[in-house]
Structure 1
Amino acid sequence: MNEADDFLRKGVAAQQRNDLNAAIDNYRKALAIDPKLAEARANLGAALSAAGQFDEAIEEDNKVLVSAPGNLGVRMNLGLAYYKKGDTENAHTAFEAVHAARPQDVAAAVLLGYTDINLGKSNQAAAMLTPLENGRESNMDLEYVLAYALINSGEQAAGLPRMEKVAKATRSADAYFIAGTARLRRREFHEARADLDAAIDLHGNFPELYTMAGQARDALGDTPAAQSAFEQALKQDPKDFTANLYLGAMHLKQRDLDSARPMLELALQLQPANPMARLQMAKLNGMTGKYTEAAATLEDLEKADPNWLDPHIELAAIYYKLHRPDDGQRERGIVQQIEASQQKAGPSKQ
């Protein structure tokens, strides 16, 4: 065995025991002796990627592929290095080449699916992964990416059961969160709460988790549990718009105006044009004697959405406080018209 092969052997042994620095050093010594030793260069690329040195890994992988473009293992490693670096476009190109050559390679397909989703091509990911599912329903990596792609492409009815299956099988807070968020958007509040509460039980610090859980609990009328969730959300992120808005509105309903005001003011500062934030601030102004300010906001909201009931209800009361009974009576009439129209239309089909 020549000296280059000896360094290669030492590099492999070091990599197997996860001593990446020693592996990288030995592979480089091997290549210094024999620059054409392809195995050493391929292994060097993999070791550099594992060590988080992605640019160097990409450089070594590309050197191998110049002379061996059909080396799919190295191309897969190249895609992984790009993916870990955050270069989704180039990662997609590499994984796509591997998938084209080995369409039944599930690992390559899963990674290609991830990059498709990240590039806003969830439809393509779902179409590519669906044919691979038959007989592989127990492969949770495949099921997760397929479920995510289906949910993102609007096929929630197909994606949600898969995502919840993955969540239960792998006890994944991430999977429960994705499923719960989708359920919440579908107004399936009981299912959303179950998924989001399961995620909380598994991982209490998941970003936005408490905010979503609070909304599900609030929609089910469980105000104390919702309030607790929003309070936890604000501990994680004091500038969480939704948590500030909901919690501020809850304090307002409880007539705890001192607690409501800073939250509603911050929500409005974060999203000045948000209709719900403006409505809640108008309610607060109305409750604290700032009738002119409240009326101006409510009138703007009415103009923007004439069929939104809440501004008309609030404005009717404000007009009476401003000693404008004719305007107040007019608003009451509009409220009655909207309510009659809503009753005629029946329950929302969302």
Structure 2
Amino acid sequence: MRPSRVASQRLVLAAALWTCSAHGQAAAGIATSSAQQHLQQAHAFLAQKQPAKAIPEFQAVLQVDPNNADAVGNLGVLLYFVGDYAHAEPLLERTVATQPVPKLKGLLGLAQRRSGQPEAARATLTQAFPALLQGQDAFVREVGLELVELDSAAGDLPAAAAVIAQLKARLPADAGVLYAAYRVNTDLANEAMLQLSLVAPSSAEMHRAMAHELSRERDLKGAITNYRAAMAADPKMTGLHFELAEVLRQSPEPELKAEAEQQYQLAVKADPSNAQALTRLGDYAADRSEHDSAITYYRSALKLAPQDSNANVGLAHELVETNHPDEALALLLNAEKADPTDTLVHFRLAALYRRLKRPDDAHREVADYERYKAMKDKLHAVYKEMRVNAPGRGSEDQTQGAKP
């Protein structure tokens, strides 16, 4: 088994970690001069970055001195990285028993997984993972993702979610970590939906959950029907009016769109601290050019949620319309800080900078607007293509005019 150049580099690094901790203390235990020669030759090969040649030398040491800690530890690491997990696992287990180094414990868990011992691997990696969070990103990622798979396979989704949370905090832009987070959270949602359907199939909670799923699938009529059923089952359930209003607002039917405003009003009546509902009401007032009413709604929303981008942009627009551009600029900059990719913010800023006779700033905002718009248009096209090409989804999405 000859490792690649990249694999060889990994082997040397991994082996060196163990060598630094074990080589000095083990030399005194060499049983014969022959074993000592093999041990010296093995370390010479490691120093020359030839780990494959070091393997038979460490094996020769163990034939003479089976308990030599240096040879046991280094050989376990080397065999792991050349893919001989079955022989690496017992050596790593012996090493970890006396020297519980976090990285070696992680390698042991990975070797157990790859040699067909999922339960042992899960227990080992669960113990090793917290200590490994202080180590290198690549190894933290490898161990963490393996542990997520083991937890999920064991049906312990909360444990998998806890590991995912730590991986996302460490590697927020890693595609593999984000995909694992998507899978785990989807499985958690599906599990909760199944349990809810068994425990309370006709409850307000079940109808609300169904409405949420149907809304995500762009089945607006189905979502509206289930929200109404949830209200009938529990008229006082917090948040239902706002969620129904959000779906009604997307409907192409004028009567339903008009009802959305009424539902936002009921949402605020039920919960005066609902900043999102207040913002939506501000939008409706702004559409009718009712500037004073819109400003009142937006200011009320911002008192509750100062960083709300929609409320900042809405109030800024109304202030520009009522000739208060300086205050509007502060609000738009606040919105830009909250979400630098918001194309509407950059569009409004560009227009406002032109009004304030700041052409350079206006030019910058136009460039940002075009850049983020192009990025979002590309993502939109990708998602749309994925939905259209999904089995059984193409004609449905096209007839409903669904957006990703």
The TM-score normalised by the length of structure 1 is: 0.49
Structure (1 or 2) with the larger CA radius of gyration:
2
